[in-house]
Amino acid sequence: MDRLARRLGLKTDPTIFFVSAGLMIVFLILLLAMPGPIGRVFADGRDWIVSSLGWFFILGVTIWVLFLIWVAFSKYGNLKLGKDDDEPAYSNLSWFAMLFAGGIGTVLMFWGVAEPISHFSNPPFAGVDPYSIDAARDAMSISLYHLSIHTWAIFTLPGLAFGFFIYRYDLPMRFSSVFYPILKERIHGPIGKTVDIFAVLGTLFGLAVSLGLGTSQIAAGLNHLTGVSNNTMLRVVIITVLTLVATASIVAGLDKGVKRLSNINILGAVALMLFVLFAGDTVFLLRQLIESTGVYFQDVIRLAFWNDAMAQFGKEEGWGWQGGWTVFYWAWTVTWSPFMGVFLARISRGRTIKQFVGGVLVAPSVFTLVWFVTFGWSAMELDGIGGEGGPISAAVGESVPTAIYDFLENYPLATLLSGVAVVIVALFFATSSDSASLVVDMLCAGDAESGPVRQRVFWGISEGFLAASLIVLGGEEGLQTLQQVITVMGLPVFVLVFAMLFMLLMGFRMESKRARGRRQPGDPAAAALASSGSEDALAATGPLAADEDAVGAHADRSGTPHQQTDPRSGAQGPS
């Protein structure tokens, strides 16, 4: 494989690249050759995971939230993701735009109207009447639970782990580097490479689901605007065209392509949101912005631990609702965590842990709150709170991707707004695709810098093919099929991300011992850890206590200094 990589002019780890690509191609062939049996396998797998392990997904993400809050306010919060004198490479505005657009931009466009209306018309809690005031409040709380702090915790935890181990200890830009505390040099062997291959495949499938959702919404918008038939062929054509657009951005690279698209995209989304805010019932929405914040914090503890344990005694569906919503969300989102984790680490070098957690966990959650209040409450008000439902809930019942366009019909310049919405979704699509392609390339190469253009183009086109294949497999039941695939693929990735929490705890203990060993006036790292005025009693115990010198000397064992690239200048030098 080394010889083939050199012949093709690739700059990557041949094992990770070729095995990941080979497994993806094998799956595509099986998917196209045997869509029926493959579909049944994923359907059965999803049913088992939801019924047996749904509680694990729900509890796990809540534990991650609590851990991140603790670490941000602990003495480790002042440590930098990088060397102690590193400074952030991007302004706060560009940083926020890049992490948001690469994260769940397509999700907010897809579910901003559809999810609140879904829970409003079909409340999940017993005793709550559809379209009632209680149903509306619950719908908003559930939507915010699904897409604010908890979702961003799934991105923040791996991003923190990547930034901590890769930049502070000069390890390769790979998923397996996070597991250095227990794998040590085996991260470069079969075990580490297996972990990296899982991460690459999980990222590809997670992206394929998002691209499938985005393509369905674009197709629905074109059907709404032009009357063109919204079928599988249209969606395949759309995903082909936008994959080519994303590939062009991939060639441009992170700073030119992704950053530029992200900034344009977030500005367009904000403009659409402000139009809805001021063209609608502005006073009502502003009041709801305050009230919904309080209701969310009041309900989030209950929702964070609720797993419908009593369902078997009162409903035939059992895990039906949470399996289709919460478990699906967490399984889907976690398949993005290798991509988003590396991406967030790549754009966040030089920030402290406290800044990183605050920025990644809180800032997008605040934007999500404003987005859902603006679109969700506007939709429920137009649909008739306290009534019997209206055209928006009827539209969601027929086709979820059309929800936002039926909603925009209630505003001036509806046709123009629908066109703008289609463009925003398309840009989110391209941004997510090119960001993921760059990160998959980094995961294979182990380098923070982009590899040869041909590598990045290969992954960009591969993602498009995979998403198109899932669309063909799903046919008219596309959303259900995507839920099944991603729930199955999400389980092993979820387990790996959960393990990152323990890796970080071990890494923090090691950092405490390193700081005490070199404590002297003017040492920023030592000062950061000493600022709490307490010693870490656990630092001298555990498997890392004797291994901290080994990590620090990681580059020397290879015989040559490990090369790191300064994202501010692009210059390389020994770390």
pLDDT means over runs of 10, the chain (575 residues): 72 86 85 76 85 91 96 91 84 73 66 92 90 95 94 94 90 89 89 89 79 80 85 86 77 58 75 93 96 95 87 57 86 84 86 92 88 95 88 85 89 90 80 75 74 80 82 62 76 92 92 69 51 40 37 35 35 30
How many Cα atoms occupy the beta-carbon half-sphere of 1 within 13 Å?
A: 12
The pLDDT, as a whole number, for residue 248 is 75
Q: What is the DSSP string of 51-117?
A: HHHHHHHHHHHHHHHHHHHHHHHSGGGG-BSS-TT---SS-HHHHHHHHHHTTTHHHHHHHHHHHHH
563: enclosing H helix or E strand: strand 563-565
Cα separation, 141 vs 116, in Å, equals: 9
Q: What tokens does 549 get?
A: 């010198």
Q: Mention every residue, 6+ apart, whose C-beta is less than 8 A from residue 533.
A: none
Q: Mention every residue, 6+ apart, whose C-beta is less than 8 A from residue 450.
A: 253, 254, 438, 441, 442, 456
Cα separation, 109 vs 371, in Å, equals: 9
The pLDDT, as a whole number, for residue 106 is 66
Cα separation, 174 vs 22, in Å, equals: 19
Q: For the chain, which domains are there?
A: 2-518+527-550 (1.20.1740)
* Number of neighbours of residue 388 by Cβ within 10 angstroms: 10
The answer to whether the CB of 61 falls within 8 A of the CB of 149 is no
The answer to whether the CB of 266 falls within 8 A of the CB of 101 is yes
The pLDDT, as a whole number, for residue 480 is 64
The pLDDT, as a whole number, for residue 536 is 39
The pLDDT, as a whole number, for residue 568 is 31
The pLDDT, as a whole number, for residue 446 is 75
The pLDDT, as a whole number, for residue 58 is 94
Q: What is the DSSP string of 281-303?
A: -HHHHHHHHHHHHHHHHHHHHHH
